[in-house]
Every structure is written in structure tokens, then in C-alpha cells.
Amino acid sequence: MAYTYTLSDTEEKNIVIDLMGKIARLVPTAKYFELGETFETWMLERENITTFTPSDKTMVDFAKDTQRLHHQIFEDDHPKMYARSKRQHTGHLQVVSLLISDLADDIDTASIWIDENIENEFNVRLLSIPAHYIHAFWLTKDGNDERFYLVQFPSTFKSLKKNRLYNTHDFLNLLQTLPFEDGLYA
């Protein structure tokens, strides 16, 4: 069983109200939308991948909390988009982005796999690894017990496998073997 970030009733109501106008402008044909799971978002930066050495450290020693939440949004019962929110100085959450993306569907597929295949209770975070264009679920339990599930990654990375869990050491070692994308140069 996996647990995601839980919004209070007030937070959920405010997010939905904030999203209503944004979704109406982005997808005017949407008849119905529903707020799905919410995840804390963390980021693993390139320098933390390259400097990793085997140790007893956990991902929290390498990744950065983005202070944002990822919200799955279902349009007519299908995961079509997601929103990101940020807590304001007043304590209220504000939607800062809304995107139509395959990531929403990939997260839904990964969530189903986790629910069907993981018996232990884990908290789930969304880990973004921009240097490799990777999104992964970061499952944590009891502080030091953590696993990683690849949600989305470039198909050119043949060494990466879906539908399996990686421990921290194997996950970071695997990331070190991947080429970094530095962009296009003229």
C-alpha cells in the first residue's frame, strides 16, 4: 500500500477552485475533471548524481525538496493533465502551473503497478531528474528503507527497466551510467 501527500479538505477545495478557471481556458471542451493523487516533488540534480559514492546515506541526502506539490488531474475519468502548486507565505497553496502531458498517464500507470505489487506501506514522493529527463516514484518507509520506481524516462536508455523497484545504491549507480543531455549546439 502506498500513501501519497494528503491535502486537508480546505486545501483540496482551494486547489479545485484555483484549477477550475485554468482548466476551462486550457481545455474548454472538458466536461468533468477530478483531482487525483497529490505528491511531494523532489529533484535530483546532476552534480548529486556525479558525486554519489556508496555509503549509508539515503536519497534525502542527495535530492532537493522543491517545496511544490504535484496534483494528478483526471478529465472525464482519464489522467490527462497535472498541476503543480506552491505554498505561499500565508500558508495557502496556489497553483503555479497546469500542463497537459503524458506524465499524468505514466504516473497513473505507475500508481496502479505500485498498488498491485507492493504489500508494505510506503510513502510516495515524485522525484524529478532533469539531467536525464527521468521521473521516478521515491518510496520511503521508516526513514532508511527506500525504493525507486521509474515512472517516465527516454526510451534510448535501454538499461532502465519499468515494473521493478531499485534500492538507493543501485538506482544512483544506474543513473551514473547514463549519458547527460547537455542540449543542442550549433
The predicted structure's pLDDT at residue 120: 82
Contact (Cβ atoms closer than 8 angstroms) between residue 98 and residue 23: yes
The DSSP letter of residue 88 is -
Which pLDDT band, with edges at 50, 70 and 90, does 55 fall under? Answer: confident
CB atoms < 10 A from the CB of 108, how many?
19
pLDDT number for residue 20: 85
Q: State the average pLDDT over residues 134-155.
A: 91
Is pLDDT at 185 greater than 60 in this prediction?
no
Q: Kindly report the CA angle at 153 between 137 and 27, in degrees rounded to 5?
A: 85
Return the percentage of the chain with pLDDT > 70, whole number.
Answer: 95
Asked if 105 and 84 count as a contact pair (C-beta separation under 8 A), the reply is no
pLDDT recorded at residue 31: 80
Rounded-to-integer distance, Cα 129 and Cα 83, Å: 18
pTM as predicted: 0.90
Amino acid at position 51, single letter: T
- Residue 186: per-residue pLDDT: 43
Q: What number is the average pLDDT over the span 39-56?
A: 85
Please list, in sequence order, all residues whose beta carbon lies within 8 angstroms of the beta carbon of residue 156, skipping any fewer than 6 positions away.
none
Please tell me which residue, 122 or 54, carries the higher pLDDT value. Answer: 122
Handedness of CA 67, 3, 10, 32 (dihedral sign): positive
Which amino acid would we find at residue 126?
L
Per-residue pLDDT, averaged over 51-60, amounts to 75
Grid cell for residue 23: 482548466
Q: Is the pLDDT of residue 54 over 80?
A: no
